[in-house]
Amino acid sequence: MAQRTVTLPGINYPTPPKRSLARRLFGPDWQIAFPFILPVVILMLLFIAWPFFKAVWTSMTVYKVNTRTTEFVWFENYVRLWQDPFYREAVRNTFVFTAGSITFKLLLGLCAALLLNSQKRFRNLLTGLVLLPWIIPSVVQALAWRSILDPLFGGLNPILLGIGLISQPLSWLADPKMAMGSVIAVNVWAGIPFFTVNMLAGMQAIDKELYEAAEIDGANAWDRLLHITLPSLRYVIVVATLLSTIWTFNGFETIFLLTGGGPGTATTVYTIKAYATAIRGLRFGPGTAIALSLTPVLALFILLLSRYMRRDVAVNLDVETWQDKVLNSIGTVIGWVGWLIALPVTLLVQLLAAVAPAERMGVRSQKRLRTIGAVGRGIGLALMLTFILFPFYWIIVTAFKTELQISQRVNIFWPAPWTMDQFNRLFFNEPFFIWFRNSATVAVATTFLAVLFASLGGYALARLRFLGAQTLTTALLVTYLLPGALMFIPLYQILASLRVTNTLWALILTYPTSMIPFATWLLMGYYRAIPEELEHAALVDGATRMQAFLRVTLPLTAPALLAVTLFSFTAAWKEFLFAFVFISSQNLMTLPVGLAQKIFGDIYPWGLLMAASLVISIPVVIFYMYGQRFMIAGLTAGSVKG
């Protein structure tokens, strides 16, 4: 049967509308993204990009006193630096300080994390206590240890004399041979919590079945540490080490408040050298050159971190890049160093296993061995808590002593009697409440700006498609890692030209430069975790993008907003460098700077300083206690993935 061909009537399908030229060039969401991202872009351009390029320009100039003109000299300042023996010593001190600090922070942080991970009871309480040194202001950290290490009125020498480790009091910070080791010890004390919390989070993310299978195969605790725990923590260790290296490499406050770079130049690192040259010596060109001279080292660290910290937004992460190879190499080196350090313990464990194999040990012997292990962990935990908490105990007991008790060195470790004299002097004879008001004003204002701009910018980068989103994301990461040591000199010049130095506006405008990048990164992760279907449903119901953001997305990010608020407030409350450089009037000083100004040469009013240290730490501790789990979530954000 023949088939007929049927011709269907023509159907005209509507052609899809052509996208406008602007949408094709700038992305489909550029109009919506513009108001969200504009505040962040303006801030980055005005107070980060402009100061950085101004710093590069300034580092190539010198000021001629005789003609009162600024002359462009290209790279002459950098050439002169490497001919300056004091600069070379500052660079050497910087590397010694960084290497020594990172090594001990990593090892002690790992030990602390292992001890806490083995605790079943009171783990959250102990973790909170361990985190205390990290959250208090750096001026409190430095002054507490300066008081403890004082050769006449401190608490360390009496302890060591009492147990017979030393025969006479030691000048820990005044002896050139001991000063660097002392400041490294203080930096280690303050930095242990960061390593501990990150590695503890990493340990808790390891599959418990791996340990169970290894134990069935006969692996002891040491074998499980070497072959399961440490390999699983490789990326956590590498990233925590790189981040801490950047912060330590650019450290200023702790060394400045402990020794001022002395005795002589024994603890002068490059940041203190830059400050002394540019701010004290008013030689902005050479001072800026010092601050920028080690930028290539920082750039290497930042490039390595960018590969890891952008792994959730980058493309083709399965392709191994040079950053991955370097990270793997660093992990391998750290592993070999750890293996060499652990070799004596490994040999001892193997010797004990050969002498008394587990299969030959009776139930009572195995129980006794577990008891010995528990006692050992308890002793290690007690030593760790003593090292971490002793400075806080010292602050409290010194704050409640009279000046006569302190000067006579009687009842060193216990006030007799307890007195409020130091607090009365602090509240009624010093401008404490003015400093408190200034700190509160700056902290609240900068926290508000940081949370507002970061919530808008993070949403645009996480949800909207527009030209330059990936570039801006990378720029935020680089901005977050840029140290204040590189920025305070050009920022001081810019603020001086705007005539806002020695005003609180100088701090309100500059503090967000370090807060907003981190806050934006943290919020981006939370925004990506929220299903987009919720916003699409609101848009279908007639809501605008801003309404969907305010009524649907933003309320779901309340935990992240609290974490960002806590971090921003504590960062502003603790900040010292910018406030120290930008503010000179006593009535405009913040608490950390005002407290530091009570030191006159070698005269330290220890009772007053410890009372003030105790008071200014209370607001931060209260905030921390209220939102501890959110702060820890922020600290470990992204560190235990991969």
Handedness of CA 434, 439, 442, 445 (dihedral sign): negative
pLDDT digits (tens, 9 = 90+) for 521-554: 788 877 887 888 888 888 888 888 888 888 888 8
State how far the Cα of 194 lies from the Cα of 200, in Å rounded to an integer.
10
What's the pLDDT at 326? Answer: 62
Using DSSP's 3-state secondary structure scheme, residue 379 falls into helix
Which carries the bigger pLDDT value, residue 245 or residue 298?
245
Q: Which amino acid is residue 50, in one-letter code? A: W
State how far the Cα of 582 lies from the Cα of 267, in Å rounded to an integer.
24
Which carries the bigger pLDDT value, residue 2 or residue 201?
201
Q: Which amino acid is residue 110, in one-letter code? A: L
What's the pLDDT at 314? Answer: 44
Would the pLDDT of 37 be above 60? Answer: yes
Q: 14: which residues sit within 8 A by CB, 6+ positions away?
A: none
Which residues share a beta bridge with 70? Answer: 63
pLDDT band of 24, cuts 50, 70, 90: low
Q: pLDDT exceeding 90 applies to what percent of the chain? A: 28
DSSP letter at 600?
B
Would the pLDDT of 312 be above 50? Answer: no
DSSP letter at 185?
H
End-to-end Cα distance, the chain: 67
Would the pLDDT of 581 be above 50? Answer: yes
Enter the pTM of the model.
0.83
What's the pLDDT at 642? Answer: 35
What's the pLDDT at 443? Answer: 94
What's the pLDDT at 360? Answer: 54
Would the pLDDT of 635 be above 60? Answer: no
Handedness of CA 285, 596, 195, 618 (dihedral sign): negative
Which of 308-322, 433-447, 467-481, 528-542 shows the lowest per-residue confidence on average (mean pLDDT)? 308-322
Q: What are phi and psi of 400, to 5 degrees?
A: -105, 20
pLDDT digits (tens, 9 = 90+) for 349-368: 555 555 555 555 555 656 76
What's the pLDDT at 177? Answer: 92
pLDDT digits (tens, 9 = 90+) for 376-422: 788 888 999 999 999 999 999 999 998 888 888 878 888 888 999 99
pLDDT mean over 563-567: 84
Write down the residue that tokens 């009496």 correspond to: 158
Share the mean pLDDT of the chain: 81
pLDDT band of 641, cuts 50, 70, 90: very low
Q: SS3 sequence, 4-39?
A: CCCCCCCCCCCCCCCCCHHHHHHCCCHHHHHHHHHH
What's the pLDDT at 341? Answer: 58
Handedness of CA 241, 245, 248, 250 (dihedral sign): negative
pLDDT mean over 336-353: 57
pLDDT band of 8, cuts 50, 70, 90: very low
Which residues share a beta bridge with 71? Answer: 62
State how far the Cα of 581 lies from the Cα of 491, in Å rounded to an integer.
10
Write down the residue that tokens 């580092």 correspond to: 59
